[in-house]
Amino acid sequence: MRLLVTGGCGFIGSNFIRHVFAHYGTAMITNVDALTYAGNPANLAGIAEKYGERYEFFHADIADAARMNALMEKHQFFAVVNFAAESHVDRSISGPQAFIHANVLGTATMLDCARRHGVRRFLQVSTDEVYGSLGPEGQFTEQSPIVPSSPYSASKASADLLALAHHHTYGQEVVITRCSNNYGPYQYPEKLIPLMIINALSDKPLPVYGDGLNVRDWIHVEDHCAAVFAAMMKGKPGEVYNVGSDGEMRNIDVVKMILAHLGKPESLIQYVQDRLGHDRRYAIDSSKAHEALGWKPRHQHTDGIRETIDWYVQNRAWWEPLLKKA
């Protein structure tokens, strides 16, 4: 079985490649990545040497139809697993065009190429942010309306709708996963948890948006990767599967946990002007994935976040070069 993984040098994509090789001994992977600022080859250090011909890297933009067609002519892929995306909400507010290019045009190009070359499955990796913001109670289900709040989430919602349209129009075997907030190794330092860890280690202020009471459902990236693989293999074409861990925490409580684990004072917290259009709360109902895919998260979020803090403490050689580039 050969998989075409897009965005495989990013945070979740690289963890997915590691997960597949660790658990499925005959799988072969072609990783296509444009290596934009968050695509880091160091995320896959040692993979090519360890797995040899089972791993292949292809440097390209997924919106480049000529190059994607050439790649799919080279191999017969069982599935495309589409992680490639611009994903930072703040960047989408200041410059949405890059998000439309990668997330909408890129997905449309990959769907079309996969269909033309007989790729059996297309797994679209999406986000709970397409649902917008929740009130103080309840959870998003797969039937929740799509009400994106940011240019980022709007671009991902657009990609989801394109994927579903390809299923309904062409009969393409498309499956979509929508996941809650990920944490774990190899996450680019602009995101909340690694940013707070790295700032705390340097005794720098920890910027917290608004009142810090925004709620997110946190899931370990390894649990997300297991869910994506299960959806690729067992998901019903045309269906959406929500992926979460019932790990709701307020942002300020995550920040305080990081400070406590590192033995740093809460005086480092600095409240800053809230993000434009900031969603208040996300919560995911994953019961469909549990029942249909046989998947459940294995990490308890508070323990997993502490393990993640330790990973960043022990892996300065990975993240310090990224700060110099920023």
152 is an active site residue: yes
Residue 243 pLDDT > 90, yes or no?
Answer: yes
Say what the pLDDT of residue 326 is.
Answer: 64
The 10s digit of each residue's pLDDT in 139-166 is 999 999 999 999 999 999 999 999 999 9
Using the CB atoms, write b or e for 281-320: b if 16+ within 10 Å: bbbbbbebbeeebebebebebeebbeebbebbeeeeebbe
The 10s digit of each residue's pLDDT in 172-228 is 999 999 999 999 999 999 999 999 999 999 999 999 999 999 999 999 999 999 999
The 10s digit of each residue's pLDDT in 70-114 is 999 999 999 999 999 999 999 999 999 999 999 999 999 999 999
Say what the pLDDT of residue 242 is.
Answer: 98
Say what the pLDDT of residue 287 is.
Answer: 98
User: 128, 173, 222, 223: which is the annotated catalytic residue?
Assistant: 128
Residue 324 pLDDT > 90, yes or no?
Answer: no
Residue 25 pLDDT > 90, yes or no?
Answer: no
Bridge partners (DSSP) of residue 31 are: 5, 57
The CA dihedral of 190, 8, 178, 290, to the nearest 10 degrees, is: -120
Say what the pLDDT of residue 277 is.
Answer: 92
129 is an active site residue: yes
The tokens 């499955």 sit on which residue? 121
User: 129, 217, 248, 279: which is the annotated catalytic residue?
Assistant: 129
CA atoms within 13 A on the CB side of 150: 25
Say what the pLDDT of residue 177 is.
Answer: 98
Residue 325 pLDDT > 80, yes or no?
Answer: no
Tell me which of 23-27, 53-57, 263-267 is least confident: 23-27
128 is an active site residue: yes
Q: Measure Cα distances from 142 to 222, 238, 242 in Å.
A: 22, 12, 6
Residue 301 pLDDT > 80, yes or no?
Answer: yes
Of 103, 30, 19, nearest in space to 295 by CA: 19
Domains of the chain (ranges, CATH numbers): 2-187+219-244+280-300 (3.40.50.720)
Determine the average pLDDT of the residues in 14-19: 98
Cβ atoms within 10 Å of 321's Cβ, excluding its own: 11
Of 217, 195, 182, nearest in space to 269 by CA: 195
User: 152, 188, 282, 312: which is the annotated catalytic residue?
Assistant: 152
What is the average pLDDT score of the chain? 97
Using the CB atoms, write b or e for 122-161: b if 16+ within 10 Å: bbbbbbbbbbbebeeeebbebebeeebbbbbbbbbbbbbe
Residue 13 pLDDT > 70, yes or no?
Answer: yes
Say what the pLDDT of residue 208 is.
Answer: 98
User: Using CA atoms, how far apart are residues 74 and 167, in angstroms rounded to an integer?
Assistant: 24
